[in-house]
Structure 1
């Protein structure tokens, strides 16, 4: 029983075998040297601290390993007495009378040795000792059956001395395996440092994206709340406008209905008077004595017509009772305009005048329509009068300038042809190409690709445009210029951020036959 308890104390908690070259951690626990090194190597690449596999004590740095000589001696002294069934692993080939675990294997001899036999083993260089193993085929050359002692850098394989001197690796750059091992390990460690840097950079980018994602969600939530509040306010104002108009026409209906009732009552009274007159006249006409008839007729003047004083003609009734549709429309429009002004929806984009082309800036291959809304590229040269404002190239500016506020306009393009559109300072050189300098910002479509350009630096889009209509939004004071593809749904293409220091024009460039642009305000 006592021997069993001692045997358990000699077992490594990692491999569950008797300690082999036991080492001690600062926490006081012992492990096989090889076992604990494998554990610490596995922990090295993680973000966690190093820890003891038995008590989980954490270490900020890789803990030093101290050989436990006393425990090693005890384990070695008791090993021959440990029952054979409790021994596992590779055994010493020279301990024929007992099962003693091997601590090394000689590649040349193809034999495993315990610690005692290692001490008396041949010390010659060709007797290479490695960790205990039974698989030695991969340690020898498959052609010459010699130990793999060298590494061929050209073919990246381990070779024997015969391969290096007489084999197919003759003349190649070779070096001893241990040197190659150290060099390769050094390189890999340098690679690991590079990987660590890349890992940190990737984590930093991930954090940046996560922060951006949070900001996007917050911004989207804020915008959705603004839209919800705005729509709710508009609904409330529309409900109030509807109630106001309906109340007004309820009052108007009551007033007209009252007037009609009064007219009906008046006319019914006239009808009663006329009926009485008719009965009296009928009675008079039935008198047989002529003298009595004439005297009675002159007395009451029955032949006099009914008095219509105060009566109302049908036309007046129709005029009074008519509810004019124009009044409804006017009141509704006035109410809607008031709602727009109250909710400040009308002040988001300020466009004081329509954006139109300035034909005096058009290059000689550009023609502008009479309404100044369409610019087209022509193969034929127009020979315009040369003036300082005119471009040498196939470009044109807008007549409008923008020096403050928010502005928005749309441009319809043809299905074919290449173009650039955006904004430019008034002072742009008339020989310069818009987008290829510091005085212009443009969106571009060409045969090969689409993108945006500023100061000759271009950002390509990974897709082609699916629509021929584009929106341009300029917030001069905030220094923002945004381009939108008016597809379904609308797609934001790019936003330039800049500090604008001069008045801006809408700017356009057309090249290639059939290129055409139409401004839509």
Structure 2
């Protein structure tokens, strides 16, 4: 008895055998080193490790501490009881001197038999043999104490022959246990097959989720890298702006200081001259001889030049020093505009440019659409597309196939430096023919337009001319649908904000293009617009 209790304490809960090279986790539970290593290897992919018994979690793979005392006890136990260590089944009932594994159990005798005692066992029919079992009583009828041989299909119960002949199951339909067991096994096999299919589906979902997690992690790393690069560039540009502004302020301060120093020197000289004149006049005023006073030049010549009607060198007035408000703040204003552009660059930063393609079904017949659905070019050759309600019939226009009804998005275009074109967004309900169909000429579209080498922002025929020179051929259109903002930027360095339309959008929005041409001499200049990816 004591030996069995000791053996239970020396069993590894993973392999169910006596410990081999036992190791201990920090929670105090012991396992075979090979067994716990295999368990931890399977947990390695999840990123969290846990004890198989108490489920204590570890953020990192736990270190394994060898349990020397337990190792010595397990080794001594196996050495002293080698036969017991080999026993894995039920022992023979009649082998009382030592534990010998049983090979069969007799339902009639309610005993388990080893090979030796099985050979001497009775071969009569009532002695039914079965696989070794410790619960032989359960295989007999609790009423008649006979072996359970049949199955009552009406009551779903295992019965003996007496139950069927004279007992409560008399007259019921019955089958042999083997037949019912076979049918039950077939059902179980079907259930097993379904379970295996579900497990495979679950494993596939696990792989899919793991792949999704991997992609999400990769995407997060990429976004973090992009954000880091963005703010590194912003800091560099801010440092450059700060140095430029401070340098300009310092230059103006030095220039003004030199100018004021020269003016102070001139004023000091003038002050000395005035002091000399004042002393001479005081001497004349103190003379007693009237003849001497009258023989001196007229006192008007001794007065201050301003009082005498002007000074030839100063034009009748002294130069006045500049005040603090005279500081040239143009460079500071330019800096603030650049800062606004930098802030705009931060605002339009998102997950990436929207994937937009041109919808050939809306393209005018004088527009050539590239195979990748990214470029629209004005052409003189008719494309012979069928006339439909959604196709533009005038002004060589086309819409995108993708529509935007929520969220924040941006997309970039590259344009021809010559010709006539418009780029913007419109509602799908925009007219498809006539003057009202031109983007910008209605209240259902917003655009930037290039015409006669000039650029304008247009909505509902209201035109806002863009000041300054447009140096780039690349533009960015940014949409914040919920905020009702549609912004246009010139992709120069630094990025330049052109204009922002504000509206309460009532329909989904499509990207819209109008590509026309202009006559130059005897030939036409073709225009084109390309979506940048």
TM-score, length-scaled by structure 2: 0.45
TM-score by length of 1: 0.46
